[in-house]
A and B are shown apart, each in its own frame.
Chain A
């Protein structure tokens, strides 16, 4: 979907100046069969915010992201991306999947991966226009990987791979970026590079939500933190959210002693 096409859905939509929240979840619940994975989650992310979603395994972090991109329907409540239902806002939302769900041995180049962001907008037999190529080039430039465009994706480090996927979301013209386990398989040095790129994109008006296990490295770099454990435990700026009570609710009492020594 091209940018002009999502404007067809909503001609008023100007994401940079939109008074609408970039992401708006209202009493959202998701159930699989009899399991309630997300229960009555409400939050609103302002445009341009850099948000971390933290919580233990099985807390519903990935489910929340998949609900925001529209591949899982909430069983109750609603989610909106700039006021649009996710099933109709696909081009607006870019998604960086968990590293484990990607088939890294598949023979694609960095360029091919970023061009995938243009797939829905390509024409018959998927002919790539000059606009498509320009968008891919621009996206790679923004994440600082244009010089690696002809390399095979599997030859890149974990952090570089994540940046390639971020570039794919940019090439797609996404305004909201969702990263699932953004730091899985990414060493600490590369984490800083990745975060610097993401931070810069937020300055440019992107809204970014990422899920992570890594509280200590991330907390002070985020604008807002959403603590999830099936339900919403806490939501706000990191120094307000990471209290011993919230950490205990998230990870159990044994983490709190470690949490008290960690500075935000």
Chain B
């Protein structure tokens, strides 16, 4: 088999094309919010969001609905809750978020264990992602949610940067800092929801943080970081899909691992150069 057919072969299948579509979309959004996640120290919160969304997702599945109906409202509720905890309790926020996220994640597992068998839900798919199983309607929802996220992001980009860099100066300039912080958390949570399809609840950080972190080693300016981040995320998700197809490996783990390897390579190259 020559190289070209080696590359083309997987995409003769509809399910792999659909997987590719979702992979491309999340490769654009993850580094975009990822830059804010890493520079504001929100990694733990991103992970907490992914885990906290789980019971909402489980509820929707048990009710026989699309998981979107549970995930999106749950994501927004937890974005608000986490924002509230950060603002009100300062340093204790870490503990509060940790307790919340572990409890809710456990609740989701208990729910699936009790009722999951009736509705044929595979716990592993939820936890580790099943991008090969996305449907056309999943792609449409992903696309719709992503376009909305991008428009809001573009509209408020300057405010998001200002508030993230200098919250006191932003407040003095008349920007409603609390509102912008909640908006950022809501955007992160929506991106987390979309990313769960690909890499599952547990591995969300692989896409949310690793490409943006690798990019911040490769570039300085924010648009360059976002650009490199998108490039790294695309390479990770496409390489992950191929590995998954030819190696018969779980897709979510393959993508997450590829993302981690890219970060390691960038970190090593950067160290060599400097």
Interface string of A88-99 (1 = CB under 8 A from B): 001001011110
Contact count band on B = 20 to 34
Can you list 17 A-B pairs, Cβ within 8 angstroms, ordered by A?
A: A70-B172, A93-B172, A96-B169, A97-B166, A97-B168, A101-B167, A101-B168, A102-B169, A106-B165, A107-B222, A107-B225, A108-B165, A108-B222, A112-B161, A116-B166, A116-B173, A119-B173
Q: Are A113 and B165 closer than 8 Å at their CB atoms? A: yes
Please, which residue of chain A has its CB at the minimum distance from the CB of B175? A119
Is B3 an interface position by the 8 A CB rule?
A: no
Contact A103 B40 (CB under 8 A): yes
Interface check A216, CB cutoff 8 A: no
Q: How far is the CA of A119 from the CA of B172 in the complex (A)?
A: 12
Indicate if B182 sits at the interface (CB-CB under 8 A): no
A108, B161: Cβ atoms closer than 8 Å: yes
Tell me whether A252 is interfacial, beta carbon within 8 Å: no
Partner of A95, one of B39, B165, B168: B168
Residue B243 CB within 8 A of the other chain: no
B144 near A: Cβ within 8 Å?
A: no
The residues in A between 75 and 120 inclusive whose CB is less than 8 angstroms from any CB of B are: 90, 93, 95-98, 101-103, 105-109, 112-113, 116-117, 119-120
What is the bound-complex CA distance between A126 and B222, given in angstroms?
Answer: 16
A119 with B167, Cβ < 8 A, contacts A105-B39, A108-B222, A152-B220 known: no
Residues 149-177 of chain B, each 1 if its beta carbon lies under 8 Å from chain A, else 0: 00000110111011011111111111100
Chain B min CB distance to A229 (Å): 23
A53 at the B interface (CB under 8 A): no
Known: A95-B172, A98-B168, A107-B225. 15 other contacts (CB 8 A): A70-B172, A95-B169, A97-B172, A102-B169, A103-B164, A103-B165, A106-B39, A112-B161, A113-B165, A116-B161, A117-B173, A120-B173, A120-B175, A125-B155, A126-B157
Separation in Å of the A174 CB from the closest CB of chain B?
10
Residue B221 lies at the interface, judged by CB distance under 8 Å to chain A: yes
Given contacts A90-B174, A122-B158, contact A107 B35 (CB under 8 A): yes
> Are the CB atoms of B159 and A119 closer together than 8 Å?
yes
For residue A196, CB closer than 8 A to chain B, the reply is no
Known: A103-B164, A107-B39. A120 touches B169 (CB 8 A): no
Specify which of B39, B167, B175, B221 is in contact with A109 (CB 8 Å cutoff): B221
Given known A-B contacts A107-B220, A107-B221, A152-B221, A120 and B174 have beta carbons under 8 A apart? yes
A71 within 8 A of B: yes
A20 within 8 A of B: no
User: Is A102 a contact of B172 with CB atoms below 8 Å?
Assistant: no
Residues of A within 8 A of B225 (CB): 107
Q: Is A136 an interface residue (CB 8 A)?
A: no
CA distance A106 to B167 in the complex (A): 12
Is the Cβ of A101 less than 8 Å from the Cβ of B172?
no
Chain B residues closer than 8 Å to A106, beta-carbon distance:
39-40, 161, 164-165
Encoded as 1 (CB less than 8 Å from any B CB) or 0, chain A from 112 to 142 comes to 1100110110100110000000000000000
How many residues on A have C-beta within 8 angstroms of the other chain's C-beta atoms?
A: 31
C-alpha gap A90/B173 in the complex (Å): 7
Residues of B within 8 A of A (CB): 35, 39-40, 154-155, 157-159, 161-162, 164-175, 216, 220-222, 225
Q: Are A69 and B39 in contact (CB under 8 A)?
A: no
Measured CB to CB, the closest approach of chain B to A88, in angstroms, equals: 11
Docked complex Cα distance between A152 and B164 (Å): 15
User: B220 contacts A103, CB within 8 Å?
Assistant: no
Which residues between 143 and 181 of chain A lie within 8 Å of chain B, taking CB atoms?
Answer: 152, 165, 168, 172
Q: Is A197 an interface residue (CB 8 A)?
A: no
- Bound state CA distance, A70 and B174, in angstroms? 9
Q: How far is the CA of A116 from the CA of B174 in the complex (A)?
A: 12
Pair A103/B166 contact, Cβ less than 8 Å: yes
**Complex-state Cα separation, A103 to B161, whole angstroms:** 11
Chain A residues within 8 Å of B166, by CB: 97, 101-103, 113, 116
Are A116 and B155 in contact (CB-based, < 8 A)? Answer: no
Whether the pair B39, A71 counts as a contact (CB closer than 8 A) is no
Residue of B nearest to A65 (CB): B172
A1 on the interface (CB 8 Å rule)? yes
**Chain A residues whose C-beta falls within 8 Å of the C-beta of B172 in the assembled complex:** 69-71, 90, 93, 95, 97
CB-CB under 8 A from B216, the residues of chain A are 107
Known: A103-B164, A107-B35, A122-B158. Is A116-B169 also a contact (CB below 8 A)?
yes
A120 to B162 CA separation, bound complex (whole angstroms):
11
Question: What per-residue 1/0 map shows which CB atoms of A217-248 lie under 8 Å from chain B?
Answer: 00000000000000000000000000000000
Question: Closest CB-CB distance, B119 to chain A, in whole Å?
Answer: 44
- Give every chain A residue within 8 A of B155 (Cβ-Cβ): 125
